Structure formats: C-alpha cells, structure tokens
A and B are shown apart, each in its own frame.
Chain A
Amino acid sequence: MSSQIHYITLVCFIACSVLAAATEPVDSRRPSSSLENKSLKTSSSSLQFTDLEGRIQTPLSQPDQRATILFFVLPDCPISNAYAPEIKRITTEYSQRKIASFVVYVDPDLTTDAAKKHAKDYGYECPVICDQSLRLVEQTGVTVAPEVAVLDLNGKRLYRGRIDNLYAGLGKRRPQATEHDLRDTLDAILNGKPIPNETTRSIGCFIAKPDLKKTAP
C-alpha cells in the first residue's frame, strides 16, 4: 500500500471521525460514550500492529474493505473461548464479502508465544493482534471479552457489543443463540440498511484496567 493512499486515508479518517463525533447517537447505558468519541476523534488510523505472523496491520484503516470486525478476546475466559468456532465462521463467511476481521488479544500479560499457541489451538484464521497497551480497547470502548467492534473503512465505529445472545448472563448459557447481533449488523452494512442496534451489552470477562498493564505507553 503506497504512502499516498495512507495519507488520503488519514485525511478521510479525520474528517469522518469528526463527523462521527458530532452525529453518533449517545448510548444510554454508557455514560462515558462522549469520552470514547473524543478518543476516536483524536486517534489516528495509522495505529499499527504486528500480527502473530509478523505482518504489519492497520486495523483502523482498511480502505479496500467494506467494514472491519475487531473480535476482542481473552485466552483464559471460557466465554470468550466458547465463541472461537462462531468467530471462525463469521470471519470466513464475511471475508468473501469484503469484511475484514481481526482477533485482538487484550491481556497485557499475554506473551507472544502464549498468544500463538492459543490462536493455533482455537484455530483463528484471520490476522491476530496482541493489543497489550489496550489502545484498541480505548479506541472502541469495549469493556469485556468477547466483545466486538465493527468499524467502517476509515475506522469509525459502527457497532460495539456482543456477537450474539448465546449468554444471558455470566453462567447463563442458552442452548443456542436466538439473536445474532453481529451478523445482523454486517448484513445491514452490506445491504446499505440502518444498523439495528449500534451498541449492545456483551456478556464476558472484564478486560483488565489499563492502569494494571505492565507496559504502559
């Protein structure tokens, strides 16, 4: 990707995110949403990560895709792990429809080797990123794992929340999910329809607070 495209993307991202900050509806369950919007506004789409394969990834800037899914996961959270097969199905199905996926590990203590082993065990096929300083967590406002953020090609957040309603609460798993929020969101984006719910509450394990991380930036 040329640096020129990067520059255009960056300009576009800043424009879009300023717009987003002005128009994004307020989430009544999340009193801190204005803080998140500020973070989106001041952030840059050039946030770079090296994935587990050693490739440079810019998950907030995917100009040749229609949208990007960030799957936030914690390797020692059973709820997060239980979603691995559905994450794989969604990444495979929607990659053919120009939707990019990233699995994002959000445990500041996770070593690269442990991440590689976990990603192999659970068979993640999309690029896998370790977000040890929780920058993507701050960018998107996720609080638990598993939780997803869906971004437009410029990194503007279109959806944040659960993959589906398989869990009604911690320790309360349904026999099968009956509402598929992420798939509905992606289908709406692909069909040019309004997104049914821009935020939902995800059930999972809390992501450790940034003040606990060992590698503060």
Chain B
Amino acid sequence: MCPHIHRTWLVMVVVGVASSGQLLADATFTKEIAPLIFEKCTSCHRPGEAAPFALQTYADVKKRGDLIASVLSERLMPPWKADRGDAAFRYERRLEDDQVRLITDWIKNGMPEGNPAEMPPLPEFPVGWSLGEPDLIVKMKETFIVPADGPDIYRNFVIPLDLDSERWVTAIDFRPSARSVVHHSLFFFEASGLARKIDAEDQQPGFKGGMGAMARLRGGPPVLTPDASETESGRPARRLQPGAGLGLLGNQAANESPKFGPLGGWALGAQPHPLPDGLAFRLPAGSDLILATHFHPSGKVEEEASTVGLYFTKEPTKRRFTAIQLPAAFGAFKGIDIPAGKNEYVIEDSFELPVDVEAFGVGAHAHYLGKSMKLTATLPDGQTQTILSIPDWDFAWQEQYRFANYLKLPKGTRLHSRIEYDNSADNPRNPSHPPARVRFGEESTNEMGSITLQVVAADESQMPKLIEGNQVHFRQSVMKTPLLKMLQGGLKSK
C-alpha cells in the first residue's frame, strides 16, 4: 500500500521539474549522484554540523529520496537564493538545472546504487578551525537559554576582546554550541563601552537585538544619521569602515576613529572565508565584540554559548573599501508605506558611479514582506548586467555573496536596485494576520530594504571621489524623502 502512495507523490513532484528532460535511466549513486551530493550537501549534512541528518552514504540518501526530490525541485536546498547573474559567485552552493534533473530522475528511477567499487571517497572536511588556528579565540561569557518554542529571538551578546592595539580582521569563524537553534549571527565592534552598559541593563545574558539596538549602539536613530560610507571625508590617513551588506554601516560622522562598526557575519550553511585580496575590517583597540544572533526555537530548550575565532592580517588593509547601498539607509527615505493586502509594492533607487570601481561582494536586506530583489548595472555603452537577482526572497537565508573575481564597473555605470514586497495574505511569512498596513521601521513587523554592493575604487586615489559621490547621493535621497509620509509613518514607528 504505502509504496504506491509514495510513488504517486514522488511522480507528481518529479514530473513538475523534469517534464522536458529525458530520463537518465542508467545514472547510479556511486558514479553520478554521490559526487554531487558530496560537493553540494555533505559539508552541512554530516555529524556535528547544523543540518538535521547526514548525507554521507548510499543508505543516507536512499532513505531521504522523497524529501531530497522535493527540496531540490522547489529549490529549497542547497540553500542559495540568488539566480545566476552576469557575474559568477564564489563559494556557490547552487545546483544547475541539469544536476537537479539528474538527481530527481535517479530518485524516480528507484535510486540504483551502482557498482560500490566506483564510490568516490568522502571529501576531507576540515576538522576544527577550517582556516587554521585563529589569532584570537573568545567565547560568550554566559550561556543563553533558548526556549523550546515561540517566536524567533534576536539577541546581542558582548564579548570583551582586551586588545591593546588596533587590529585588521580578515575573517571570523563562528561556532555555535547549539547548532539547531542558531540561524545567523552578525558581528560588530563597539569601542566606547556603550555595549557593556546596555548589556548590564537586565540580568539576562546580552541585550535585546534587532535594528533598534543597533541604532542605540550607533548613537542615534538611523533615519536621522547618515551612514559610514557617506560620511567618510576620504582623508588619506583614514580607512573606510566597510559596510557588511546585511550589517549596518556605523555612524562615523563625528569621529576620526569610529567606535562602532561591522565585522561581517555568519549564517547557516556558510563556511568562513577571508576577505579577498588582503582587504580587512578595522578593529580599534579596546573593542568589545558584539554578536547579533538570530535564534529560532527547535522544539526543545537549548543552551547557546558561541565560540568565535578571529583572524587578523599582519598589515593594515592596502585598499580601502566601501559600500554602495541602494536605497540608502535601508530605504529610510523612500516613504515605505505598504497597504494591507497589496501584493506588489516596489521601491527603487539608482546611482551613477563617479569613478571606476571593482565590486567584490553584494548582499540584500528586507524583512518578511520582501518578495524579490534585483540589482542591475547599465554600463556606459548601454549594456545592462544583472548583478544580483533574488526572485524569491527569504528572510531566513540572507547570504553575503562574493564574486568569483572583482566585478569591474566603469565610471558612468548606472546601478539600479528594485525591491518588491508582498503584503497580502498569500505571503505565508506575513507577520500580520490578516495583513496590516506596514511602514518603514526596524522591527520585523515593519519593512525596510536595500541592496548593498561592496566595492573598492579601481584606482585607490579615486576613493575620495567615490565617497563624495556616495555622500551626494545620500543627501539627495534625504531631500527627496516624501516628508509627509515620513512624519506620518517612519518616525512614528520608532
């Protein structure tokens, strides 16, 4: 009885994907399937990692055949939300369409094992710190208890680093103790002692997360303060505090040496990678490390005490880098006001590059109403490239994408971002039921949105001009704010 049921369901799943492809009837696990599984799945699906079960053997995979067919066909796994754009990404986890078809056809065909002698060896996955012994290892002072259920939790933890001099951070490796509940963590430094003060306000480890907390650390509401990339004066001795895309950019307006800034982040499925080409985040002396961690309860009480390994460069970074955020300030000046039930609400922004740049990373951010994201570049010759396209935005998978090579964008290139929201009841992630009017804000029941391109100036001496152009764009964004909407909505949501 049951085999029939399963087969019927399976056929429905597979036919949806492979209707036009021919069945690769002779594909076997050991020859065609295992290499793909090992390359794209096993780095997370192995004991001790975050994935819920191992995919290391024929038996492991055969047992999960139906589930694998479903999640591949729906493009849920491997987790990689970006479409293939014009610039290739590094560390890409996605499977090609023909690879998906190969695996689903093999499942449909009864999952033949093939010749065991042809079985490839399991890849050697790093044991311990995958980038080698870190220069500094720190751990959360106290254990944070994650309840069995309830809504997701955002919590910031403060870890003293006790550094007596400035450092340059090229990579951070993050090791949660409760892998089933830690979804992602963003890293920041705070060097004035403010984070410790906020931490001491309640008895619990850390303090409430979310963007409101970030605004406090930055020293003001984000709507009213410009972000780092726009306020750099470009003095030769100074180095930019880079934007980490998803992370905030930090308020450096008043300070020669900013006291708060981003250091990158970690999300489920990600391996630690150093910044390319000797680039590094500046970490001031006396900084505390802040982990802004997102938990989702797993059904059972868990205890989290994260361990963090920091990797420093020997020299300060040679090339400064900055972030071009479109729209600026996560859309704070766009007058976001999404009617209840509206299934297609769009914000857009454009920026013309004042100098030749080389982009090395891109990331997007929105909350639960986010539907699709796109960043394009129209080159001076009129040709348009897709830099990032996320057709089915998922708040849960906020990847920081790195380009395989520097993406060269000449002066005069027009960057254009488009972010679409769905505030209808058809969006299952809609935090309001029934849908409610949503305006700009930092809570997850508000919305914001931007795409952030991480760039260096092709010629380092042009950096001040790039920063100035970014500043001008920021000021123009403020000037164009639908003021009435902002007063009615944006500020009220604080």
A binds B: yes
A residues contacting B by CB (< 8 A) are: 30-32, 35-36, 38-39, 76-78, 81-86, 109, 121-123, 134, 137-138, 141, 143, 168-176, 178, 205-206, 208-212
Which of B2, B70, B428, B433 makes the CB contact (< 8 A) with A172? Answer: B428
Cross-chain contact of A35 among B1, B53, B396 (Cβ < 8 A): B1
CB pair B428–A174 under 8 Å, yes or no, is: yes
Q: Which one of B61-69, B227-235, B334-342 is at the interface?
A: B61-69
Q: A30-B5, A32-B5 are in contact. List 13 more A-B contacts (CB 8 A).
A: A31-B8, A32-B8, A36-B1, A82-B299, A84-B299, A121-B300, A134-B2, A171-B76, A173-B429, A175-B368, A208-B63, A209-B2, A209-B3
What are the interface flags for B365-392 relative to A under an 8 Å C-beta threshold, 1 for contact and 0 otherwise? 0001000000000000000000000000
A-B residue pairs in contact (CB < 8 Å), sample of 13: A30-B5, A31-B8, A35-B1, A76-B53, A78-B298, A82-B149, A122-B299, A123-B300, A134-B2, A171-B71, A172-B429, A209-B6, A210-B2
Given known contacts A81-B299, A84-B299, A169-B428, is B149 in contact with A143 (CB within 8 Å)? Answer: no
Instruction: Please give, as numbers and ranges, the residues of chain B lying within 8 Å of A84 by CB-CB distance.
Output: 148-149, 299-300
State how many angstroms separate the Cβ of B431 from the closest Cβ of chain A.
5
Residue in B63, B71, B76 whose Cβ sees the most chain A Cβ within 10 Å: B63
A143 touches B151 (CB 8 A): no
Assess the B5–A81 pair: CB atoms within 8 A: no
A166 CB to nearest chain B CB (Å): 10
Known: A123-B300, A170-B70. A210 touches B3 (CB 8 A): yes
CB-CB < 8 A to B148: which residues of A?
Answer: 84-85, 122-123
Contacts of B297 in A (CB 8 A): 82
Is A175 within 8 A of B298, CB to CB?
Answer: no
CA–CA, A27 and B217, complex, Å = 56
Which residues in window 175-218 of B have CB below 8 A to A? 180
Chain B residues engaging chain A, CB cutoff 8 angstroms:
1-6, 8-9, 52-53, 62-64, 66-67, 70-71, 74, 76, 148-149, 151, 180, 297-300, 368, 394, 396, 428-431, 433
Contact B298 A81 (CB under 8 A): yes
Could you say which residues of chain B place their CB within 8 Å of the CB of A211? Answer: 3
Q: Considering the chains assembled together, what is the distance between the CA atoms of A123 and B300 in angstroms?
A: 8
On chain B, the residues within 8 Å of A85 by CB distance are 148-149, 299
Minimum distance in angstroms from B56 CB to a CB of chain A: 14
Nearest-CB residue, chain B, relative to A73: B299
Q: CB distance A109 to B300 under 8 Å?
A: no
Chain A, Cβ-Cβ closest to B10: A206
A175 and B429 within 8 A (CB): yes
Instruction: Report the nearest B residue to A80, measured CB to CB.
Output: B299
Q: Determine whether the beta carbon of B6 is less than 8 Å from that of A143.
A: yes
Q: A208 CA to B63 CA in the complex, in Å? A: 6
A51 to B396, CA, bound (A): 38
Write out the residue numbers on chain A whose beta carbons fall within 8 Å of the beta carbon of B52: 76-78
CB distance from A31 to the nearest CB of B (A): 6
CA distance A123 to B67 in the complex (A): 26
The answer, among B5, B76, B428, for a CB contact under 8 Å with A141, is B5
Q: Is the CB of B298 within 8 A of A143?
A: no
* A80 vs chain B, min Cβ distance (A): 8
Q: Separation in Å of the B76 CB from the closest CB of chain A?
A: 4
- The distance in angstroms between the C-alpha atoms of A76 and B431, with both chains bound, is 27
A143–B9 touching, CB < 8 Å:
yes
- What A residues does B430 contact at CB under 8 A? 175
Cα distance, A124 to B2, chains bound together (Å): 27
Q: Is the CB of A109 within 8 A of B299?
A: no
Query: Which residues from B are CB-within-8-Å of A169?
Result: 74, 428
Measured CA separation A169–B76 after assembly (Å): 10
Point out which of B62, B299, B368 has the most chain A C-beta atoms below 10 A from its C-beta: B299
Bound form: Cα–Cα A175–B395 in Å: 12
Q: Which residues of A contact B433 (CB under 8 A)?
A: 174-176, 178
CA–CA, A134 and B396, complex, Å:
34
Task: Pick the residue among A36, A137, A175, A212 that contacts B431 (CB under 8 A).
Answer: A175
Docked complex Cα distance between A212 and B67 (Å):
15
Given the complex of chains A and B, what is the CA–CA distance between A32 and B2 in angstroms? 9
Contact B71–A170 (Cβ < 8 Å): yes
Shortest CB-to-CB span from B299 to chain A, Å, is: 4
**Set of chain A residues within 8 Å of B180, measured between Cβ atoms:** 78, 81
Most-contacted residue by chain B among A30, A78, A86, A206 (CB, 10 A): A206
Q: Are B298 and A206 in contact (CB under 8 A)?
A: no
**Given the complex of chains A and B, what is the CA–CA distance between A96 and B53 in angstroms?**
36
Q: Which residues of B contact A122 (CB under 8 A)?
A: 148, 299-300
Closest 4 CB pairs of A and B: A168-B428, A206-B66, A84-B299, A81-B299
- Chain A min CB distance to B228 (Å): 32
> What is the minimal beta-carbon distance from A199 to any residue of chain B, in angstroms?
13
Chain B residues lying within 8 Å of A39, measured Cβ to Cβ, are 1
B298 touches A35 (CB 8 A): no
- Say yes or no: A143 contacts B300, CB within 8 Å: no
A77 to B429, CA, bound (A): 21
From B2, B6, B66, B300, name the one whose CB has the most chain A CB atoms within 10 angstroms.
B2
Q: Least Cβ distance of B424 to chain A in Å?
A: 13
- What distance in Å separates the Cβ of A49 from its nearest Cβ neighbour in chain B? 18
Cβ-defined contact, B394 with A171, below 8 A: yes
Distance in angstroms between the alpha carbons of A31 and B368 in the assembled complex = 36
Are B67 and A205 in contact, with the CB atoms below 8 A? Answer: yes
Q: Select which of B4, B66, B149 is within 8 A of A32 by beta carbon.
A: B4
* Residues of chain A with a CB closer than 8 A to B76's CB: 170-171
Residues of B within 8 A of A174 (CB): 428-429, 433
Please measure, in the bound complex, the distance between the C-alpha atom of A175 and the C-alpha atom of B40, giving whole angstroms: 29
Bound CA span A206–B66, Å: 6
Q: Which residues of B contact A30 (CB under 8 A)?
A: 5
Contact A171 B429 (CB under 8 A): no
Give the chain B neighbours of A32 by CB distance below 8 A: 1, 4-5, 8
Residues of the B chain whose Cβ atoms lie less than 8 Å from the Cβ of A176 = 151, 433
